[in-house]
Structure 1
Amino acid sequence: MGSLQLDDFVAGWVGGAAAVIVGHPLDTVKTRLQAGQGYGSTFNCVLTVYRNESVVGFFKGMSFPLVSIAVYNSVVFGVFSNTQRLISQHRYGNCNHPPTLMDLALASMATGAVSVGIGGPVDLVKIRLQMQTQTFLEANLNLKHRTGGVSVQAAYRGPVHCVGTILRQEGVAGIYRGSSAMMLRDIPGYCLYFIPYTFLCGWISPDGCLSPSPFSVWMAGGIAGAISWGSATPMDVVKSRLQADGVSFNRYRGVIDCISQSYHSEGLKVFFKGLTVNAVRGFPMSAAMFLGYELSLRALREQAETNP
């Protein structure tokens, strides 16, 4: 049976870092739109954030995902690749046997289930930091004024303070707020991520090529990202609302309650908030992710062959 290959985890880390740098500004816009803050259109949200917070506003909370999402992506690619090889070894007796559609689906579903353990807390902290439209000092001064001088903690100073505050106020369960919605988003979402990528990569690559070209990887990764994020939007809205909930008061009791309240107050269109941003953001972010992954994986394996 094939052994665990660590180069997939390392290459996944590189791909994750590349994706965060490319996709974080649009991710901030997506989060603000989905949380129901009254921005209206995507264009109005971009203008409002820029007018009130300048360019810096689009990069709020980026330091935490730059580190954590890189680790998260490392787990995603490492689990997917090793699970796929394990399935091929079990079914065909050869871990390098080309995977079938069912093989890819099983590996993708396993990846989606495992990823929530790390991705849930990462997304929660990222969203809480992105939702802040004021600095910690400004928020406390405003609340002191409104509450007659009583100091009330209204903002997070950074990722570590955010985690500490959530643990203190909501317990360990608070760190995994929205994880059920994330599971419902990611299990089908990763199927619509890795499966299109694998088939598109093979389709775009010229006949006779042993490995896909950088252009094939970039294009296939971008299209797969747009498909995956676009289709995941309804459950992504629910997840974002649940994770943004609890900053000032708890509005939702769970996934079903969030869906019900959102539908009754805003109609069916609420579940497609951020669809355009998700699809547009999904292309460059996933293109950068897969390109960073594939190129670094090749470099690692070439180095291993050169220095056995």
Structure 2
Amino acid sequence: ELTPAPAPPAQVREGGASGSDCLIKTIRSEGYFGMYRGAAVNLTLVTPEKAIKLAANDFFRHHLSKDGQKLTLLKEMLAGCGAGTCQVIVTTPMEMLKIQLQDAGRLEAQKKMLETQAHLSAKGGAQSVPGSATPGRPTATQLTRELLRSKGIAGLYKGLGATLLRDVPFSIVYFPLFANLNQLGHSEAGEKSPFYVSFLAGCVAGSTAAVAVNPCDVVKTRLQSLQRGVNEDTYSGFLDCARKILRHEGPLAFLKGAYCRALVIAPLFGIAQVVYFVGIGEALLGLLPGHRRD
């Protein structure tokens, strides 16, 4: 039985036409656990990231409110802007390391594919492909040490500007939307909404904000990839990256992964809001006098 020819090298990064196609190709080239590459970094840093984001939003909302009065939409957006700015302290290195770990598997799969094509071309496709020695995939610790050694602390913050351009608009959309959706579950003034209302509000607000800022996430991911595969573009900055994506792949390229991001971020923020519901924000803020969540 004939097997399909491998995709051209230029298509290796974005070869999947859909999430399911990408899933199948990832499992085929890297195995089932290839889907979890970079998960350890997320598990380690996602808790402080969400804690900073939620606590910072509460902090700014508290200081922008006057005598406990309901915040205007503009002030809610300002509080979200402050929260998104604070969280990049953790988000940028977390995303940086996660992307490098995921890229290691992608580039190794591409290298093997190119070696297979070259060998079959040279031998007429009759012989089996000899195994080639490939360096072991790096760990998050090794990547961190290498980046610190070669580029200093700035190495972990490559793509900081792009991360800000994603996370600040995300928080500007997310927090006002969540606050107003969560408010719908208040039975009486001053009471918290039931936990399931906070969960649903977090899911809806998170997925909406994720789709809204997905173009910035696409650009950020490209900028934070330190290594390039065959025929992949290099970028000098955010605008250069956006222009090249638009020119070579069209406007729909900025929506790649939006569906998957919405599916992941919806329950993530729903769960985060439920956990936060028990009063973690007040604890992190030091039980500020007169503080309460709006």
TM-score class, shorter-chain normalisation, is 0.7 to 0.9
**Distance in 2 between the 1:188 and 1:196 partners?**
12
TM-score for both structures, normalised by structure 1: 0.73
**Distance in 2 between the 1:54 and 1:141 partners?**
14
1:45 aligns to 2:22 (yes or no): yes
Q: Is the 8 A contact 1:229 1:279 kept in 2?
A: yes
The higher radius of gyration belongs to 2
Q: Is the 8 A contact 1:112 1:183 kept in 2?
A: yes
**Distance in 1 between the 2:234 and 2:189 partners?**
57
Identity level (%)? 23
Residue of structure 1 in register with 2:203 after alignment: 222
Q: Is the 8 A contact 2:203 2:266 kept in 1?
A: yes
Structure 2 counterpart of 1:111, which letter?
A
Q: Is the 8 A contact 1:140 1:152 kept in 2?
A: no
Structure 2 counterpart of 1:262, which letter?
I
Residue of structure 2 in register with 1:12 after alignment: none
1:264 aligns to 2:247 (yes or no): yes
1:158-194 superposed Cα distances (whole Å, 9 cap, x missing partner): 1111112223344443322211111111111101111
**Distance in 1 between the 2:140 and 2:214 partners?**
25
Classify 1:197/1:140 alpha carbon distance in 2 versus 1 (closer, same or farther; 3 Å).
same
Classify 1:208/1:106 alpha carbon distance in 2 versus 1 (closer, same or farther; 3 Å).
closer
Q: Is the 8 A contact 1:238 1:258 kept in 2?
A: yes
Greater CA drift, 124-133 or 207-216: 207-216
Residue of structure 2 in register with 1:118 after alignment: 90
Structure 1 counterpart of 2:237, which letter?
G
Q: 1:189 aligns with which of 149, 165, 170?
A: 170
Classify 1:247/1:264 alpha carbon distance in 2 versus 1 (closer, same or farther; 3 Å).
closer
Stretches of structure 2 that go unaligned for 5 or more consecutive residues are 1-11, 119-131, 288-294
Q: Deviation of residue 99 (structure 1)?
A: 2.3
Q: Is the 8 A contact 1:140 1:155 kept in 2?
A: no
**Distance in 2 between the 1:264 and 1:87 partners?**
43
Q: Is the 8 A contact 1:120 1:176 kept in 2?
A: yes
1:165 aligns to 2:165 (yes or no): no
Instruction: Say how many residue pairs are matched.
Output: 259
Superposition pairs for residues 1-308 of structure 1, below 5 Å?
Answer: 36-88=13-65, 92=66, 94=67, 96-133=68-105, 155-156=137-138, 158-206=139-187, 210-246=191-227, 251-295=234-278, 297=280
Q: Is the 8 A contact 2:246 2:253 kept in 1?
A: yes
Partner SS, residue 244 of structure 1: coil
Greater CA drift, 195-204 or 238-247: 238-247
Residue of structure 2 in register with 1:4 after alignment: none
Stretches of structure 1 that go unaligned for 5 or more consecutive residues are 1-34
Partner SS, residue 184 of structure 2: helix
Greater CA drift, 65-74 or 46-55: 46-55
1:206-241 superposed Cα distances (whole Å, 9 cap, x missing partner): 456811101101110000001110101000000011
Calculate the aligned-residue CA RMSD, in Å.
Answer: 3.4
Structure 2 counterpart of 1:100, which letter?
T
Q: Is the 8 A contact 1:181 1:255 kept in 2?
A: yes
Determine which structure has the larger helix proportion and give its number: 1
Greater CA drift, 278-287 or 245-254: 245-254
Classify 1:188/1:178 alpha carbon distance in 2 versus 1 (closer, same or farther; 3 Å).
same
Q: Deviation of residue 264 (structure 1)?
A: 1.3
Q: Is the 8 A contact 1:226 1:279 kept in 2?
A: yes
Q: Is the 8 A contact 2:228 2:234 kept in 1?
A: no
TM-score for both structures, normalised by structure 2: 0.76
